[in-house]
Structure 1
Amino acid sequence: MNSATGIPPAAGPRPAVMGYPAHARALLALALPLVGSNLAQMALHVTDTVMLGWYGVVELAAVVLGASSFFILFILGAGFAQAVMPMVASALGRGDEVQVRRDTRMGLWLSLLFGAAIYPVMWWSGPILIALHQKPEVAALAQEYLRIAGLGMAPALLIMALKSFLSALERAGVVLWATLAGVALNVALNWMLIFGNWGAPELGVRGAAVASVATQVLTLAVMAGYAGLHRDFRRFNLFQRFWRPDWPAFRQVYRLGWPIGLTGLFESGLFEAAALMMGWIGTTELAAHGIALELAAITFMCHLGLSNAATVRTGRFQGMGDRAGLRAGALVAIALSGVLSAIIITVFLTIPAPLVRLFLDMTNPGAEAIVAYGSALLAMAALFQLADAAQVMALGFLRGVQDTRVPMIIASVSYWLIGIPVSYVLAFPLGYGGEGLWFGLVVGLAVAAVLLMLRFWRGPWVSDRRADSGVRRRA
């Protein structure tokens, strides 16, 4: 057994059964760096927002709009990069190192192709944003930002694909350190290029875009160098004859990846729609919603890291054909997710007001009203934790066994045919306002969690009765 990861080697005699503590140690060893890298990725967005806020109000609005548009397109394209993680994990479980190279390489190909294909949308984003009723001056600045930042779409997706490759190999530590270095570099470049410090020209919004692209390119260079040159990974020959197509692997990554991208789009769209409806209620309510959602997003990054680790381990055990290990690992992941949820719920329910105040200047008029409303929403966010943690964990398990199309359908129905209508009815016809809107989100996420968990635990990857009865007969 590999003492560093807790996962037995694919080749050789049948591995010994792992106990629950060993599963927990192995899962946490992989999950903690992934959680850290997710939080560091959020810090990139936060630093851009804060530093543009220092520069100007219109510029801040333009970058928030542009970055949101970039993120939605990124989520759609990231499905191909995310598909690499379970595919590589399963191939490693089977001991098929050639397939590791094939799947990763085609994941990189699809990421490049998507980045090139989507760039025209960002180049002509101004008219699109105006058609969506954005102010012309903000739309023009957002287009200026996206025309530069869009050049970073392909590098950002390639980073995600390499992150999936390294995470499947249980080397997530380098992902964390590369992301943290990227945050520091982004802050320095923003300071130099937005404001014109250190002898650089003052570029404002364009400076923020240049800083983002430069950070992505340099982070990509570090991760590609590590993946291609480190002695532990040279055997994969990841970039050897990179230009040669591998159409069977290409089709497989595409088949697995596009539903992942759409699932992410459905979920992010759910929260965009919620923000739009909260804006109908009032400005104070929208501000409180934004703060509560930011806190929920921070906690979600923790659940997402745990889910990504569960994807890798589920894929490994699925590749080895070890159903007992797969079941035990899934139970441990759910237990750890439950503990994390309990901690977050306790924090949200006991100190909501101090958390909301962290985002506000309390000398401003209306700040206390935002604190009061945000504290009420954090009570809903506490309910949110259980549902959100369960659905993202179930998605992690299902991606580990390479089941993505049915989960996509479940997500679309749960979020858009149940969650959004319930939010609307509770908030407006029934008059519960923002709290009703948030409760509708909880309902949509809870339905998704139940259906996705049932999908996983009732699937053949967990228990194949015919295979299990055959084992008993042979015994």
Structure 2
Amino acid sequence: MNSPRHLASQGNAWLAELQSSLRLGAPLILTNLAQVALLTTNLIFMGRLGSDALAAGSLSASLYHAFMIFSMGLVSAVIPMLATTLGRRLRDVREVQQIIRHGFLTALLITIPAWIVLWHAQDILILMKQDPAVAARSVTYMHTLQWSLLPYLGYIVLRSFLAAMEKPAWTLAIAVAAIGINALLGWMLVFGNLGMPAMGLAGAGLATTLSSLFMFIGLSVVVLRDPRFRRYYLFDRAWHWELPRLWKMWKLGIPIAITFTLETLVFYAAIMMMGVIGQSELAAHAIAMQICSVSYMIPLGFSQVATIRVGLSAGRLDPLAARRAGWIAYALGVGFMGLAALVFWFAPLSLIGLFLELNEPDNQAVISLAISFLALAALFQLSDGAQAVAAGMLRGLHDTRTPMLLALIGYWVLGVPTGALLAFQADMGGIGIWIGLVTGLSIVAVLLTLRWVRASRRLARKRPSRT
């Protein structure tokens, strides 16, 4: 039987972990929200140009997002690698340098082919049965947006370093500044304010590219000048690469990238199916998905917390602390998504009104569909939060391959076919597609959670090296 002193000690340990997770999670979450605000601001500006522009811009945004998510997943291997290294308390400067150096190399190697493919976005969209006129208009956004990928990935590598050091405040400050820069540049370049040319969709993409460049340069200045980070000399010998180290990073990162992409492509497949159904459905879906993207940033932040805190504990060989870190992050992420579901269900118009004029007669069909889509989105908020944080917990243990396979089964063997069947065979249209999304996310959430339950039980049976 556990003594009162032992129970009090355990309670204090859980409380301390909760406090640590919130301290780390708050700036990470705000940073994630700041980043998604860049593309959200663009969509708001596009909505002011009209539902046609919103539909065209959402196609390019979704295609870009698919490539960005895969690339980000690949460089995200930096986080668990740094967390495990720093958790050993060795503060091995050379090892940290090597991880960052190969993170930058990975960003460069994945960006070049992505740029080539995205430049031909119009042909890709037409192959996917999209309206040729909408596809032609959408690439005016893509051809200025796509160049933001490399500086954004460089920013992600440096952000991962600061997060693993549990010092994410600078990333938040720079991301918040980038929101203001993106909004100002977008207002100037999209609508032609302050003497700038009215570039429309192209102006929105250019604003985000310049903002992403600012984010990378800003964090570079921080790690070069702040004494806490300067001693790691992250940019020294930047061209000294080792193929075995690169492969080690890719071996961990490729399953993460594929998992991210499998989930993202589910939503992109939904965009494509919506485009086949009709332009109103496409515009409504774009609004609903962008709102969901904002709420998702909170469990994504706690997923990053889980990876870091679990990885740090695993690095110092403290399995019970790793178990606590995982479950605390899980509870925080899923708990928030429960609150988000209530907002989606009871106040959809307040959210939709950010993107469209609610009293405009031409927008009523889009608004009605968006309300229905948000009602279904409320149903999968808990599942979306659970799968995101569970995947982060497993990444803290460098467990990435099995979660990739579980995502493949849940999203593509079950979720997407269900949505397509209901949409086109059962004539449920966009509602059927959203039911498919709910199905896929729920299945993956259950499978990943069960895998963590097994992993956490194994961790609990091991003796920690320190209390």
Specify the TM-score bucket, using the shorter chain as the normaliser: 0.7 to 0.9
Please list the CA deviations of residues 252-294 of structure 1 after superposition, one character each: whole Å capped at 9, or x if unmatched: 1111111111111111111122233345555555444433333
Q: Which residue of 1 aligns with 2:149?
A: 153
Question: Are 2:113 and 1:117 aligned?
Answer: yes
Q: In structure 2, which of residues 325, 330, 337 is the aligned counterpart of residue 329 of structure 1?
A: 325
Look up the SS of the partner of 1:232 in the other structure: helix
**Cα offset, 1:201, TM superposition:** 4.1
* Residue identity opposite 1:395 in structure 2: A
State the TM-score, normalized to the length of structure 1: 0.86
Q: 1:361 to 1:51 in 2, by over 3 A?
A: closer
Question: Are 2:80 and 1:86 aligned?
Answer: yes
Question: Are 2:223 and 1:230 aligned?
Answer: no
Look up the SS of the partner of 2:236 in the other structure: coil
Q: 1:351 to 1:154 in 2, by over 3 A?
A: closer
Q: In structure 2, which of residues 67, 83, 93 is the aligned counterpart of residue 73 of structure 1?
A: 67
* Residue identity opposite 2:454 in structure 1: R
Q: Which residue of 1 aligns with 2:453?
A: 457
Question: CA contact under 8 A between 2:323 and 2:460: conserved in structure 1?
Answer: no
**Cα offset, 1:200, TM superposition:** 3.6
Q: In structure 2, which of residues 19, 22, 25 is the aligned counterpart of residue 25 of structure 1?
A: 19
Question: CA contact under 8 A between 1:318 and 1:461: conserved in structure 2?
Answer: no
Distance 1:165 1:461 in 2: 30
Look up the SS of the partner of 1:458 in the other structure: helix
Question: Are 2:169 and 1:173 aligned?
Answer: yes
Question: CA contact under 8 A between 2:143 and 2:202: conserved in structure 1?
Answer: no
**Cα offset, 1:60, TM superposition:** 5.1
* Residue identity opposite 1:437 in structure 2: I
* Residue identity opposite 1:67 in structure 2: A
Q: Which residue of 2 aligns with 1:378?
A: 374
Question: Are 2:33 and 1:39 aligned?
Answer: yes
Q: In structure 2, which of residues 247, 253, 257 is the aligned counterpart of residue 257 of structure 1?
A: 253
Q: Which runs of 5+ in 2 are unaligned?
A: 1-8
Q: 1:120 to 1:274 in 2, by over 3 A?
A: closer
Q: Which residue of 2 aligns with 1:3?
A: none
Q: 1:86 to 1:461 in 2, by over 3 A?
A: farther
Stretches of 4+ aligned residues off by more than 6 angstroms: none
**Cα offset, 1:205, TM superposition:** 4.0
Question: CA contact under 8 A between 1:326 and 1:462: conserved in structure 2?
Answer: no
Look up the SS of the partner of 2:361 in the other structure: coil
Q: 1:461 to 1:293 in 2, by over 3 A?
A: same
* Residue identity opposite 1:40 in structure 2: A
Q: Which residue of 2 aligns with 1:310?
A: 306
Question: CA contact under 8 A between 2:122 and 2:136: conserved in structure 1?
Answer: yes
Distance 2:423 2:255 in 1: 31
| Further displaced range: 345-354 or 213-222 | 345-354
**Cα offset, 1:328, TM superposition:** 1.2
1:7-18 correspondence to structure 2 within 5 Å: none
Q: Which residue of 1 aligns with 2:383?
A: 387
Please list the CA deviations of residues 202-237 of structure 1 after superposition, one character each: whole Å capped at 9, or x if unmatched: 444443333222222121111011123210012211
Distance 2:127 2:164 in 1: 42
Please list the CA deviations of residues 133-169 of structure 1 after superposition, one character each: whole Å capped at 9, or x if unmatched: 4455554454454344333221111111111111111
Q: How many positions carry a matched residue from both structures?
A: 455
Q: 1:188 to 1:420 in 2, by over 3 A?
A: same
Distance 2:369 2:189 in 1: 37
Distance 2:205 2:365 in 1: 35
Question: CA contact under 8 A between 1:391 and 1:450: conserved in structure 2?
Answer: yes
Question: Are 2:340 and 1:344 aligned?
Answer: yes
Q: In structure 1, which of residues 101, 107, 118 is the aligned counterpart of residue 103 of structure 2?
A: 107
Question: CA contact under 8 A between 2:122 and 2:138: conserved in structure 1?
Answer: yes
Q: Which runs of 5+ in 1 are unaligned?
A: 1-14
**Cα offset, 1:59, TM superposition:** 5.5
Distance 2:394 2:278 in 1: 39
Q: 1:128 to 1:420 in 2, by over 3 A?
A: closer
Q: In structure 1, which of residues 270, 273, 290 is the aligned counterpart of residue 266 of structure 2?
A: 270
Distance 2:415 2:370 in 1: 21
**Cα offset, 1:188, TM superposition:** 2.1
Please list the CA deviations of residues 94-148 of structure 1 after superposition, one character each: whole Å capped at 9, or x if unmatched: 1242322211211111101211232222333333333334455554454454344
Distance 1:432 1:237 in 2: 57
Q: Which residue of 2 aligns with 1:8?
A: none
Distance 2:261 2:426 in 1: 29
* Residue identity opposite 1:68 in structure 2: S
Identity within the alignment, %: 37
| Further displaced range: 249-258 or 17-26 | 17-26
| Further displaced range: 136-145 or 119-128 | 136-145
Q: Which residue of 1 aligns with 2:294?
A: 298
* Residue identity opposite 1:149 in structure 2: L
Look up the SS of the partner of 2:295 in the other structure: helix
Question: CA contact under 8 A between 1:186 and 1:211: conserved in structure 2?
Answer: yes
| Further displaced range: 408-417 or 285-294 | 285-294
Q: 1:378 to 1:268 in 2, by over 3 A?
A: same
Q: 1:379 to 1:56 in 2, by over 3 A?
A: closer
